[in-house]
Amino acid sequence: MSAPLGKVYLVGAGPGAQDLITLRGARLLARADVVLHDALVTDEMLALCPQALLIGVGKRCGQLSTAQAFINKQLVDAANKYALVVRLKGGDPMLFGRADEELRALEEAGIEVEVVPGITTALAAAAATKQPLTKRGVARSVAFFTSSTAPAHPDHVAIPDTDTLVQYMGGREAIVTAERLLAQGRRADTPVVVIENCSRPDQRIVRLTLATLAHGLSAAHGPVLVMLGDALKLREHQADDAGALEPVPGRLSA
The catalytic position among 7, 19, 33, 38 is 38
Q: Would you say 180 and 226 are in contact if contact means Cβ atoms under 8 Å apart?
A: no
Name 37's bridge partners. Answer: 56, 88
Q: What is the amino acid identity at position 17?
A: A
Determine whether 161 is an active site residue.
no
The residue from 7, 33, 43, 59 that is catalytic is: 59
Catalytic status, residue 233: no
Q: How far apart are CA 234 and CA 131, in angstroms?
A: 8
- Tell me how far apart the alpha carbons of residues 243 and 224 are, in angstroms, rounded to a whole number: 13
Can you tell me the distance from the alpha carbon of 170 to that of 196, in angstroms, rounded to the nearest whole number? 10
d(CA 208, CA 217): 10
The Cα–Cα gap between 235 and 141 comes to 19
Q: Which residues are catalytic?
A: 38, 59
